[in-house]
């Protein structure tokens, strides 16, 4: 139960933060990416603001356990790999096209109107076929 | 001096800190990395079946909190495109891409960069560059968005 309450609290803070920061406004995201247009640096403030408490949290994990018990995530994987790059490029293209990424896509469903539901449904479809895409990519062009 | 700082930047910083606080609660409380694409994707492809309640409750929080805030706060126009082809193409790219890369703006960006993860930093560089090129191509050259 404690695990679920904390998950709801974390999700609530995330959703509230996305809403307040303006990151569900697609013009602010596309404005950040549009370096040759009317560039909008807001996203950098959001990222910076989010990284500060998160960096403190990572420092706090040293020699401790999560509140509900168990283990903290393993140290970051140093391996980069082809799928990381291909996936990030594909994600970035979609992000630029619509100005939405997974977090804001969920946060904006209640007030964004039908375009957000179309994007969300397409994103879920993409996630559903992703394992098959990964397999065929690895078969066609082995990573190593 | 303070008046000259755009309010959008201040709200961005405050909202960003709430996002980071959410990530801190998820990490220190439940021992998990707050990555939106991983949390959603694990429910979609079944890989996160064992922790489905935790994921569902997290997403409920993300979905519900803005509903509580909309009546009291700020403009809620998201200015999303109404071009269905663009929305579908974008959604599919984001869905496949984030799962292939194992992370998005929250997982690789916020949670990865904050622990100086090389994968997080490299992913963020690539998705920002790809996003920038996409906006330049589709806005300034093709005029679609």
- Whether A128 contacts chain B with CB within 8 A: yes
- Coil, strand, or helix at residue A24? coil
Q: What is the DSSP string of chain B?
A: -GGGS-HHHHHHHHHHHHHHHHHHHHHHHHS----HHHHHHHHHSSTTGGGHHHHHHHHHHHHHHHHHHGGGSS---------HHHHHHHHHHHHHHHHHHT--IIIIIIIIHTTT-HHHHHHHHHHHHHHHHHHIIIIIIS---
Q: What's the pLDDT at B75?
A: 61
| Residue A82 binned pLDDT confidence (cut-offs 50, 70, 90) | very high
Range of weakest confidence among A63-72, A85-94, A125-134, B3-12: B3-12
Q: Given an 8 Å threshold on Cβ–Cβ distance, is B130 in contact with A49? A: no
Segment A119-133 shows an average pLDDT of 98
DSSP string, B27-64: HHHHS----HHHHHHHHHSSTTGGGHHHHHHHHHHHHH
Amino acid B71: pLDDT? 82
**pLDDT given for residue A17 in this prediction:** 97
* Two tokens, residue B98: 């984030």
Residues of chain B with pLDDT below 50 are none
Q: Which residues contact B98 (CB under 8 A, 6 or more apart)?
A: A87, A91, A101, A102, A127, B37, B41, B104
- The answer to whether the Cβ–Cβ distance between B79 and A16 falls below 8 Å is no
Q: Do A33 and B132 form a contact (C-beta atoms < 8 A)?
A: yes
Which regions of A5-138 does DSSP assign to beta strands (E)? none
Q: What is the pLDDT of residue B3?
A: 66
Do B88 and A118 count as a contact with CB atoms less than 8 A apart?
yes
Query: Which tokens hold the place of A138?
Result: 């690895």
Position B76 scores a pLDDT of 81
Structure tokens at B102: 């194992």
Residue of chain A whose alpha carbon sits nearest to that of B127: A92
Determine whether the interchain pair A30/B105 forms a contact, defined as Cβ–Cβ distance below 8 Å.
no
Q: Is A87 helix (H, G, I), strand (E, B) or coil?
A: helix
Interface of A with B in 66-125 (CB under 8 A): 66-68, 70-73, 76-80, 83-103, 105-113, 115-116, 118-125
Domain that holds residue A118: 2-140
The whole-number pLDDT of residue B74 equals 57
pLDDT of residue A23: 96
ipTM beyond 0.85?
A: yes
Number of domains in chain A: 1
> Which of the four pLDDT bands, split at 50, 70 and 90, describes residue A46?
very high
Residue B57 neighbours by CB under 8 Å, 6+ apart: A4, A7, A8, A11
Cα-to-chain-centroid distance, residue A139: 27
Q: What does the domain layout of chain B look like in residue ranges?
A: 2-141
From CA B100, how far away is CA A98, in angstroms rounded?
Answer: 19
Name the pTM for this structure: 0.96
- Predicted pLDDT of residue B2: 59
Question: Which pLDDT value is given to residue A115?
Answer: 98
- What mean pLDDT is predicted for residues A128-143? 92
Q: Which of A16, A57, A80 sits opposite B119 (nearest CB)?
A: A80
* pLDDT for residue B4: 73
Q: Count CB-CB contacts under 10 A for residue A93.
A: 22
Nearest CB to B36: which of A28, A103, A118? A103
| Contact criterion met (CB below 8 Å) for B20 and A54 | yes
Handedness of CA A93, A97, A101, A102 (dihedral sign): negative
What are the tokens at A66? 């999560």
CB contact under 8 A, B19 and A17: yes
Percent of chain A with pLDDT over 90: 94
**Would you say B123 and A84 are in contact if contact means Cβ atoms under 8 Å apart?**
yes
User: Is residue A136 less than 8 Å (CB to CB) from chain B?
Assistant: no
- Per the CB < 8 Å rule, is A36 touching B86? no
């Amino acid at each position: 139960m404690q695990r679920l309450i904390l998950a709801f609290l974390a999700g609530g803070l995330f959703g509230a933060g996305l809403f307040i920061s303006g990151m569900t406004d697609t013009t602010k995201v596309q404005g950040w990416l549009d370096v040759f247009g009317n560039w909008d640096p807001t996203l950098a403030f959001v990222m910076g603001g989010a990284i500060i408490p998160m960096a403190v949290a990572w420092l706090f994990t040293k020699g401790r356990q999560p509140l509900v018990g168990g283990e903290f995530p393993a140290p970051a994987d140093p391996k980069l790999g082809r799928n990381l790059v291909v996936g990030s490029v594909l994600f970035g293209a979609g992000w630029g096209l619509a100005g939405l990424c997974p977090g804001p896509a969920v946060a904006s469903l209640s007030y964004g109107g039908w375009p957000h539901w179309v994007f969300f449904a397409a994103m879920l479809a993409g996630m559903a076929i992703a394992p098959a895409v990964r397999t065929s990519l690895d078969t066609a062009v082995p990573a190593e | 001096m303070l008046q000259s700082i755009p309010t959008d930047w201040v709200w961005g910083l405050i909202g960003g800190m709430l996002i980071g606080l959410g990530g801190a609660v998820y990490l220190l409380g439940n021992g998990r990395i707050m990555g939106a694409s991983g949390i959603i994707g694990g429910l979609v492809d079944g890989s996160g079946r064992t922790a489905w309640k935790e994921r569902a409750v997290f997403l409920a929080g993300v979905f519900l909190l803005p509903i509580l805030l909309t009546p009291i706060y700020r403009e809620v126009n998201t200015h999303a495109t109404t071009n269905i082809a663009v929305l579908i193409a974008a959604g599919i790219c984001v869905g496949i891409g984030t799962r292939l890369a194992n992370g998005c703006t929250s997982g690789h960006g916020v949670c990865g960069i904050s622990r100086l993860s090389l994968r997080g930093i490299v992913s963020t560089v690539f998705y920002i560059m790809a996003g920038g090129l996409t906006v330049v191509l589709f806005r300034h050259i093709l005029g679609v968005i």
